Amino acid sequence: MTAREAYEVLSTQLTNIYNDRESSTIARYLVEDLFSKSFWSEDELSTEELILLDDAKERLMGHEPWQYVGGYADFYGCKFKVDPSVLIPRPETEELVYLALDIIKREKLNSVLDIGTGSGIIPITIAKKTERLRIYAVDISKSALEKALENSKLLETNVEFLVTDFLNSGLWSDLPKVDLVISNPPYITSFEKEQMHPNVLEHEPHIALFVQFDAMEFYKAIASFVMDHQDFGCKVLVEINENFGTEVCDTFRTAGLKNIVLIKDLQDKNRIVAAEK
């Protein structure tokens, strides 16, 4: 079987789960990620590669996200290693990074802290697109930070990763003072679970997806952290649940943050809140 034939087989089988366009796109990326060959290549696959292909098909039919099967996810023009210990990057987060880069360059900021970094896509991308910036990232998951460090080395960036439970305010004094605090925290409520696709619900880490009780818990913590431990002028940029734009703005306002702006994404959904101390 050639790489091209493998692509065609995967495309056909995936139509049982995805639409035709999605099936074709996923099959293309998988062939390239699994075999380091063009999906249009006539190169014959080895016995080991055919075994890998069969395993991939089985995992895909079990609704496992194709990024985990292939081991990579694309984000902002780079390939990041991913596994079930970290979330798969979303296009909406690219918009968050785009805004962060604009603020960093316009305001000539010198340092950034990413809260809940996961695979490290936010700080690593910022590091790739800027110079002489001090960049820190924290997460409660050691396995996630191992993947983030692996990605940082792979993409040749210098990000300092720290293990911490950010919801424990007693640990905030250990974190650095920075010019920008950025975060894509857990923001999906338990009520939204039934609307989610099985490949997300059954495979991606729930600790990075869901809030347990209060949809505002991370936003309250971020606001308090900035007000209590950051200097005046510190910028804040967070991704949000589209259903809670007003609530996040009110949470920031109550905490004392100013210049609060609710920003829509390219799908015209409330997606980002910007503020500053």
pLDDT at res. 194: 55
Within 13 Å, how many C-alpha atoms sit on residue 32's CB side? 14
Q: Which of 209, 205, 199 is nearest to 67 (CA)?
A: 199
Q: Which of 215, 276, 217, 259 is nearest to 241 (CA)?
A: 215
pLDDT at res. 87: 83
pLDDT at res. 201: 47
pLDDT at res. 206: 46
The encoded tokens of residue 59 equal 């995992």
Report yes or no on 70 lying in a domain.
no
* One domain for residues 171 and 208: yes
* One domain for residues 109 and 241: yes
pLDDT digits (tens), the chain, 277 positions: 999 999 999 999 899 888 899 899 999 999 999 998 898 889 999 999 999 999 998 888 888 888 999 999 999 999 999 998 888 898 899 999 999 999 999 999 999 999 999 999 999 999 999 988 999 999 999 999 999 999 999 999 999 999 999 999 999 999 999 999 999 987 665 555 555 455 544 444 544 444 566 789 999 999 999 999 999 999 999 999 888 899 999 999 999 999 999 999 999 999 999 999 9
What is the pTM for the complete model shown?
0.88
* One domain for residues 38 and 130: no
* Phi-psi label, residue 42: left if phi above 0, alpha if psi -120 to 50, beta otherwise: alpha
Report yes or no on 14 lying in a domain.
yes
* One domain for residues 146 and 240: yes
Residue 205 φ then ψ, to 5°: -65, 120
Report yes or no on 71 lying in a domain.
no
pLDDT at res. 84: 86
Compute the distance between CA of residue 166 and CA of residue 188 in angstroms, rounded to an integer: 18
Opening angle at CA 27, ends 21 and 29, nearest 5? 105
Opening angle at CA 44, ends 40 and 48, nearest 5? 115
Structurally, the chain folds into a number of domains equal to: 2
Compute the distance between CA of residue 124 and CA of residue 217 in angstroms, rounded to an integer: 26
- Residue 33, Cβ neighbours under 10 Å: how many? 19
H-run or E-run covering 272: strand 270-276
* One domain for residues 129 and 16: no
Report yes or no on 232 lying in a domain.
yes
Domain CATH code at residue 119: 3.40.50.150
* One domain for residues 43 and 91: no
Report yes or no on 72 lying in a domain.
no
Domain boundaries, position 118: 85-276
Strands (E), 170-230: 180-183
Domain stops at, among 29, 62, 95: 62
* One domain for residues 40 and 107: no
The encoded tokens of residue 212 equal 């347990």
Say which amino acid occupies 219: Y
Compute the distance between CA of residue 90 and CA of residue 198 in angstroms, rounded to an integer: 16
Residue 204 φ then ψ, to 5°: -85, 150
H-run or E-run covering 251: helix 245-255
* One domain for residues 259 and 227: yes
Compute the distance between CA of residue 174 and CA of residue 162 in angstroms, rounded to an integer: 10
* One domain for residues 179 and 227: yes
pLDDT at res. 189: 57
